[in-house]
Amino acid sequence: MLRWVIFLLIFIIIDVYAFQAFRTVSKTIWLNVVYWVITLLVVGNLIYQFYGLTRKDFGNPQAFAFGFFLAILIPKVIILGIMFAEDIFRVPQAAFRYFTEGSNADVKYLPSRRAFISKIALGIAAIPFGAVLYGMYRGKYNFKVLNYTLTFEDLPEAFDGYKLTQISDVHSGSFDNIEKVEYAINLINEQKSDVILFTGDMVNNETKEMLPYVDIFKKLKAKDGMYSVLGNHDYGDYLRWESAEAKAQNLEDLKDLQKQIGFDLLLNESRYVEKNGEKIALIGVENWGAGGFKKAGDLKKASEKVDKNDFKILLSHDPSHWEKQVIHDDYHYHLTLSGHTHGMQFGVEIPGLFKWSPVKWRYKYWAGIYKELGQYINVNRGFGYLGFPGRVGIWPEITVIELKKGSHNA
């Protein structure tokens, strides 16, 4: 109860500033009424949906309540910053007049807020307000195919021009539009890659979340097969299960379900893909993440049947594994495929020029291709979404990587 009181007090302080800007511009009572009705409905719904909630109960109603709250909170915080900056000048001016003019002042000490400052604040705040709503309505299914070409000196000749498609972080429990999901699966098949690789988080928590989409995912096709690994959410660690047996059964059900779809699930193990008498190694580890995430991944075990000189592609859900262990391993993993970060589902990207998201403060490698010590990683921005029911600027991703043999990247 106390945390809700604190939450409401903080929000009221923010709203006091936000409403000052709105009232300065708005000259009609009914607009002020609309402002407060929307605010009370959104905040009231948030409290209703989340009060006493357990993680197992979290679903689309709670996700949308959180999303609509963000849609009004972020603009209000922006307005707070601008209006507070104005007060840096207004308050000292009022204090100066009080001590110099006293009761002889012919006007009130504190100057009125300037309308143009309020208009600027509201104009700037309208941008994230619209962006968040768009992200919830369209952005979460705004699938993008990102194409990369990576060149390696020691790539087997037979695999020159080999194409792989990576998807990650399906989070099927968050979906609310089966037709959009089917569109994305068709988009993956249209890439006609040689192999499809999935890097974890099929579900949010429970295997049953994926059941409505199994037949759609069964349509995935690649001539050299499909391979997958587990992500941190796939283990069911974020729920309170009725028993350890129920949790273990959920994981076994998920493994069986991936097999039904057609994925060869790699649990700290490897496979070879052969072509014209040459081969590359596909290695998959269970989840290994820094900062308190599950560490079931065993790189040594996964690679025990792979020769050090083989060309190696590693599937590892969390990119912190690459940073902490993989790039320093003497086995030299040519290409690692990860996901996990979602790019925080929020950020700004200008392809080839600029990318930013708050998640960069948590993960050094958070979206796209990186190269360290002669090794590459692609951090996929994710297929689905989690928590916030949308994406703003960081769109759902289907990665297509073409392997080329040569001395350097073009």
User: What letter would DSSP give residue 133?
Assistant: H
Mean pLDDT score, 348-374:
94
Distance CA 286, CA 203 (A): 15
Comparing 40-49, 176-185, 312-321, 382-391, the range with the smallest average pLDDT is 40-49
Structure token pair of residue 21: 């800007």
Whether the CA torsion 171, 336, 354, 181 is positive or negative: it is negative
144-152 sheet: strands from edge to edge: 144-152, 397-405, 162-167, 195-198, 226-228, 263-265
Structure token pair of residue 367: 């979206």
pLDDT digits (tens, 9 = 90+) for 41-87: 999 999 888 887 776 778 888 899 999 999 999 999 998 888 877 77
Q: What would you measure as the largest C-alpha separation in the chain, in angstroms?
A: 97
What is the number of alpha carbons within 13 Å of residue 327 lying toward its C-beta? 16
Helix (H, G, I), strand (E, B) or coil at 57: helix
Query: Which residue ranges make up each domain of the chain?
Result: 2-137, 144-405
pLDDT digits (tens, 9 = 90+) for 12-50: 888 888 888 888 877 788 888 999 999 999 999 998 888
pLDDT of 410 strictly over 50: no
Distance CA 73, CA 129 (A): 9
Whether 173 contacts 382, CB under 8 Å? no
According to CATH, what is the number of the domain 144-405?
A: 3.60.21.10
Place of tokens 């960069």: 360
Span between the terminal Cα atoms of the chain, in Å = 59
Structure token pair of residue 387: 């928590």
Mean of the per-residue pLDDT values for the chain? 91
Distances (CA, A) of 245 to 56, 63, 151, 241, 300: 17, 29, 47, 9, 29
- Residue 47: which residues within 8 A CB-CB, separation 6 or more? 4
Distance CA 369, CA 375 (A): 10
pLDDT digits (tens, 9 = 90+) for 109-142: 555 566 778 888 889 999 999 999 999 999 999 9
Mean pLDDT score, 342-367:
94
pLDDT digits (tens, 9 = 90+) for 243-288: 999 999 999 999 999 999 999 999 999 999 999 999 999 999 999 9
Place of tokens 């796209």: 368
pLDDT of 104 strictly over 60: no
- Residue 372: which residues within 8 A CB-CB, separation 6 or more? 327
Closest CA to 371 of 110, 150, 202: 150
What pLDDT was estimated at residue 409?
Answer: 52
pLDDT of 1 strictly over 80: no
User: What letter would DSSP give residue 218?
Assistant: T
User: pTM here?
Assistant: 0.90
